[in-house]
Amino acid sequence: MESSDYEAVLDDVEKLVRPVVGSGETASYIPALAAVDTSRFGMAVADTEGRVHGIGDWQEPFSVQSISKIYTLALVLAQDGEEIWRRVGREPSGNPFNSLVQLEYEDGIPRNPFINAGSLVVTDRLLTLTGDAYGSLRDFLRAESGDDRLGHSPVVAASEAEHGDRNAALAHFMASYGNLDNPVQEVLDHYFAQCAMEMSCRDLALATGFLARHGVRADGSRLLPVRAAKQINAVMLTCGAYDAAGEFAYRVGLPGKSGVGGGIVAVVPGKCTVCVWSPGIDRQGNSVAGVAALDAFTTLTGWSVF
């Protein structure tokens, strides 16, 4: 697709979704996110060569939240192979992203790496492998996006920590089953900092390009074997939109990962990555306008994995 074609598609997407921009609510249980303007909307597409096209607020940084879980998983798979799958599953949860229910039945093994419990296990492993889980994530995202200024918001991280009793409960529960190797508070500190990363649609579209390139980084080096990149894309498709992953696959038809900050990243393998941001989220934690925009994008382009 030529540059002008991308730009025309993005223009059409914005026109189609403009009526639903502002729908939904912000993540009020994280006070630092509660006041974000729900009328904001941005979208960016990065092709496999690193060319980026955007529309609206596509260069405005926002809190990535659970989108960060893609990259921590990738870094662990890159350094540790498939060992992490002994400690976390690959199945949809069917429950809210911060649910304790299934951990009780499944002996402290989270259903997948994209719910909070699963991401805590991945963060714990990355902390063991690198000594600095947050720093490893930050450095990777800076390299892939080409933006050395990227970092996290201490205000958002503190806000999450102050209201993070459920995440602490998840971590302590898993630790009681021996599924965390590091001190709970240390794991939580890194996890909250990772979720508090601030990036734009441009940054995220570029940073996720390794999944469209089947494991190859922006500099041409290989981060992951093709098999591991396929695994991440598969888990994104089945588990990336919390307990609405089936609806996301039905409407969008691409591997994707959402965050309660209103961002969603999606992958068109071999072609491009797409990031959309609009802060109004539904009860499952997915951006209302973001899902609509990706639905429109795949409908207009005919690109999906189905």
The identity of residue 225, as a single letter, is: P
98: annotated binding-site residue?
no
Catalytic residue among 6, 13, 52, 66: 66
Task: Evaluate whether 72 touches 42 at the Cβ level (below 8 Å).
Answer: no
Does the active-site annotation cover 260? yes
Measured CA angle at 35 (ends 292, 117), to 5 deg: 70
CA angle 33, 39, 42 (to 5 degrees): 90
SS3 category, 218: coil
Catalytic residue among 13, 191, 258, 268: 191
The string of DSSP letters for 71-102 reads HHHHHHHHHHGGGGGGTS--S---S-TT--HH
242 labelled as ligand-binding?
A: yes
Query: 121, 242, 278, 291: which one is catalytic?
Result: 242
Given 69, 136, 156, 252, the catalytic residue: 69
Cα dist from 147 to 103, 121, 182, whole Å: 38, 28, 30
Residues 1, 71: Cα–Cα separation, whole Å: 27
116 annotated ligand binder: yes
179 assigned ligand-binding residue: no
The rounded Cα 115 to chain-centroid distance in angstroms is 11
Question: Is 69 known to be catalytic?
Answer: yes
Active-site residue, 66 included:
yes
Cβ neighbours of residue 99 under 8 Å, at least 6 residues apart? 93, 115
Is 194 within 8 Å of 133 (Cβ atoms)?
A: yes
- Is 176 among the annotated ligand-binding positions? no
Annotated binding residues: 66, 116, 160, 167, 191, 242, 260
The residues that are catalytic are 66, 69, 191, 242, 260
User: Which amino acids are annotated as binding site for substrate, given as ranges?
Assistant: 66, 116, 160, 167, 191, 242, 260
